[in-house]
Amino acid sequence: MAEVRPRLTKKEEKQLQQLLENVRFSLLFKGSIHGHSAVAFHAKCDFQGPCLVVAYNNTGYVFGGYSSQSFNSYNQYTKDERAFLFSLNKGENHNTPLKIPVKNADQAIYNITNEGPNFGAGSLRLLINGAQATTTLNNNYEFDVAELHGNNTVLVECEVYRVEGIGSVLESPWRKITWTPEERKSLMEFIKYYKTCVYPISQVRILMIGPVGAGKSSFFNSVHSVFRGHVTCQAIAGCDSTSVTKKYRTYTIKDGKAGKHLPIILCDSMGLEEETGAGLDIDDIPKLLEGHIPDRYQFNPSASIQSDHPCYLKSPSLKDKVHCVVFVMDACKVSILSNKLEGKLRTLRAKINQFDVPQLLLLTKVDELCPIVAEDTKKVYKSRALQKQIHAAGARLGIPVSNILPIRNYSTSLELDCNNDILILHAVQQMLRYAENYFDNIPLDVKE
């Protein structure tokens, strides 16, 4: 699936931040992608907290409205003393944004099931019969229609952004982690000397699954970097609209350049895509779990591997099977995950559950989601924005919050960081622990 990119430019974003100080914007809805309809709007934007609606017409105006209260479908007015309309005056090349504060706060927002965003009693209505807007002069907001949008209500795009305070920090972390070099060393020791409870299996096999660009290959590179002692890039990683990984790869990791292999094998799969016949074929998943697909198998997005394929492993042993599945998702894209891709992920979860394989979810790019985490990784569990995304991801995929771990991969850094290492090592530790649950469910005669 191609990345959903905001139409809002950096200059326009800065203009809007003049109106809403100390905030960042997270894209929830894009009409050209999700559909210019009330149904699509409410599905993506209801109960998301403060939101900014941005409309673009075909003469260059950028305008819309802000609500500090969540949108909903309750068919009633929402009181909001902080609501306002705005225009960036694009048509006149002005640099100072126009802000139109609400006059009648009791009727600031009209939430109705069969309409899109409605500011006031129709002062500004968007997504009316598709990509259209209407304006009505009343006592809720006072403005000049021509100044707002140049008398042009034909939209080329409509976006909704969740507004998040970048200074939103919890008083105490909701998960406890020790951020010291000693903790980093302790985690590394745990992983180095870990032994499975099943003889003679010496390595736990972890399958990584996720959308294109989520950071599966980057996670392997990050784990490899921690144990190598410097940033490395063994697995091919990158940013593209289609999966960079085309082959099934199983990666072992050494303790240092010439050390012994660690008791974990990370298996990298082709990225998931929205459309059928693109990306990883869901029907390949059971065969991956059961160990029928060998290392370096070239995935075919339009057809699953069959038992008569020359590469098909007909009699895999327990060590060839997957012992834990790790979903990998971009934390910035949880809220704009398409319904089709969410459906694919839920289907995958159901298939994996049939094999009693434990599952974790890694949320990557947490530094891009939250500026305070970008400045200080130790605040990862004090960030309200990240806490909200973790809970949202759990709700969308049906994964318990206890199974969701934030990660900051080494995708831009040239040097290792102790705090980043601790997050990465905690994730590996949890994978090993969850794999124990897989072995515990295996009948004794099979283990032997």
**Domain boundary, last residue among 115, 140, 165:** 165
Are 201 and 155 found together in one domain? no
Are 140 and 227 found together in one domain? no
Determine the 3-state secondary structure of 133 from DSSP.
strand
In a domain, 175, yes or no: no
Are 71 and 156 found together in one domain? yes
Are 279 and 366 found together in one domain? yes
Q: Which residue has the tokens 């599952």?
A: 359
CATH code, 300: 3.40.50.300
Confidence (pLDDT) at 394: 93
In a domain, 174, yes or no: no
Are 131 and 249 found together in one domain? no
Integer CA distances (angstroms), 250 to 199, 209, 239, 435, 441, in order: 21, 13, 21, 17, 24
In a domain, 4, yes or no: no
Q: Could you report the per-residue pLDDT of 210-226, keeping only the tens digit for each?
A: 988 888 889 999 999 99
94 Cα distance to chain centroid: 35
By the 8 A CB rule, do 184 and 422 touch?
yes
What's the number of domains the chain is made of? 2
Two structure tokens written together for 374: 């970008």
Confidence (pLDDT) at 96: 76
Q: Could you report the per-residue pLDDT of 11-41, keeping only the tens digit for each?
A: 899 889 888 866 889 999 999 999 999 999 9
For 313-424, where are the E strands, in sequence order?
324-330, 359-364, 404-406
Task: Give the relative orientation of helices 384-397 and 339-353 as an angle to the nearest 10 degrees.
Answer: 70
Q: Could you report the per-residue pLDDT of 68-100, keeping only the tens digit for each?
A: 999 999 999 999 989 999 999 764 455 678 999
Q: Could you tell me where the DSSP H helices lie in 20-67?
A: 31-34, 38-45
Phi and psi of 418, rounded to 5°? -55, -40
In a domain, 171, yes or no: no
Determine the 3-state secondary structure of 161 from DSSP.
strand
Phi and psi of 125, rounded to 5°? -120, 135
Are 146 and 228 found together in one domain? no
Look at residue 387 and tell me whether its pLDDT is greater than 50: yes
Confidence (pLDDT) at 3: 64
In a domain, 1, yes or no: no
21 Cα distance to chain centroid: 25
By the 8 A CB rule, do 232 and 221 touch?
yes
**Domain boundary, last residue among 110, 137, 165:** 165
Are 281 and 352 found together in one domain? yes
Are 422 and 338 found together in one domain? yes
- Residue type (1 letter), 263: P
Put simply, whether the predicted model's pTM sits higher than 0.85 gets the answer no
Q: Which residue has the tokens 């950028």?
A: 62
**pLDDT averaged over every residue in the chain:** 88
Rounded CA separation 292/311 (Å): 9
Q: Could you report the per-residue pLDDT of 146-180, keeping only the tens digit for each?
A: 999 999 999 999 999 999 875 567 888 999 999 99
**Domain boundary, last residue among 165, 191, 215:** 165
Closest CA to 126 of 93, 154, 84, 161: 154
In a domain, 2, yes or no: no
Are 250 and 347 found together in one domain? yes
Confidence (pLDDT) at 22: 64
Are 124 and 248 found together in one domain? no
Q: Could you report the per-residue pLDDT of 102-145, keeping only the tens digit for each?
A: 999 999 999 999 999 999 989 999 998 888 989 988 889 999 99
Are 262 and 304 found together in one domain? yes
Are 29 and 150 found together in one domain? yes
Confidence (pLDDT) at 24: 83
Residue 207 belongs to domain spanning: 181-447
Integer CA distances (angstroms), 382 to 77, 318, 376, in order: 34, 40, 11
Rounded CA separation 418/177 (Å): 13
In a domain, 173, yes or no: no
Integer CA distances (angstroms), 360 to 193, 207, 356, 406, in order: 22, 10, 13, 11
In a domain, 298, yes or no: yes
Under the banding of pLDDT at 50, 70 and 90, the label for residue 243 is very low
Residues 6+ apart with CB under 8 A from 293: 248, 284, 287, 305, 311, 312, 313
